Amino acid sequence: MDDSLLIKLTLDGNQQAYAALVDRYKDLAYSIAVRIVKDAQDAEEVAQDAFVKAYKSLNTFRGASKFSTWLYTIVYHAALSKARKLKRFTPLNQVEAAEIPDDSRHADSMSDLTAEERQRFLAQAMDRLHPIDATLLNLFYFDEQPVQEIANITKMSVSNVKVRLHRARKQLHTELNRLLQSEIRSIL
């Protein structure tokens, strides 16, 4: 059943239809929240609140964008607001000022790892990124959202999203190398 029909049914008073929408988008919504607030419990609270907020204002959803874009926008901004409240958030401009070290010495080592090990290292490296960068990668690679949709969600310009995605990958590369180096050191 497509989103617009589920929304219509929800507006007609069918709460099970909304449960289907929650089930459909809960994973990425939670994933966005956890990337930003960096705590499982806080992320669940943020994602839950976002779904309830979306439900209450469902009649204002005009269908100009996809429901997922509208929902992720609510989650993203609720998570940012929570992270700011918890003081777990560094403004983007401070991160931009920091230089990304250029390090690709161990870049090829990743291919020698098993899929499971790669997942573990990648997840750890993602955790080290700035919350917004990690979220952009999340949206672009896991959910395969187009850049324009990501720009709508984050209220950034399309070019800014592209630049940040590039920087985020570069940063991720560096973090992966750091992790691999320390892993090699610990083995030796």
Partner 1 sequence: MSTPEQDKALQDMLRELDITPAPDGFTDRVMEHVQMAPAPKPIQYKAPIGRWGWVAIAAAFISLCVAGLGSNYEFPAVMPEVHIGEFLPTLPFADVSPAIPLALIALSAILVLERMLSKNRLVR
Gap between the Cα atoms of 128 and 172, Å rounded:
8
- Asked if 30 interacts with partner 1 (CB under 8 A), we say yes
- Asked if 15 interacts with partner 1 (CB under 8 A), we say yes
In three state form, how does the secondary structure of 41-84 look?
HHHHHHHHHHHHHHHHCHHHCCCCCCHHHHHHHHHHHHHHHHHH
The residue whose two tokens read 């959202």 is 145
Q: Which residues contact 172 (CB under 8 A, 6 or more apart)?
A: 122, 125, 126, 129, 133, 137
Binding to partner 1 in span 73-102, by CB under 8 A = 102
Among 5, 40, 86, 158, binds partner 1 (CB under 8 A): 40
Measured from the CB of residue 137, what is the shortest distance to partner 1 in angstroms? Answer: 6
User: 52 vs 158, which CB is nearer to partner 1?
Assistant: 52
User: 111 vs 186, which CB is nearer to partner 1?
Assistant: 111
Q: Look at residues 76, 14, 84 and name the one whose alpha carbon lies nearest to residue 50.
A: 76
Task: Report the Cα–Cα distance between both ends of the chain, in Å, rounded.
Answer: 55
Among 1, 5, 19, 86, binds partner 1 (CB under 8 A): 19
Binding site for partner 1 (CB under 8 A): 10-13, 15, 18-19, 22-23, 26-31, 34-35, 40, 44, 47-48, 51-52, 55-59, 102, 104, 107-108, 110-111, 115, 118-119, 122-123, 126, 137-138, 141-143, 169-170, 172-173, 176
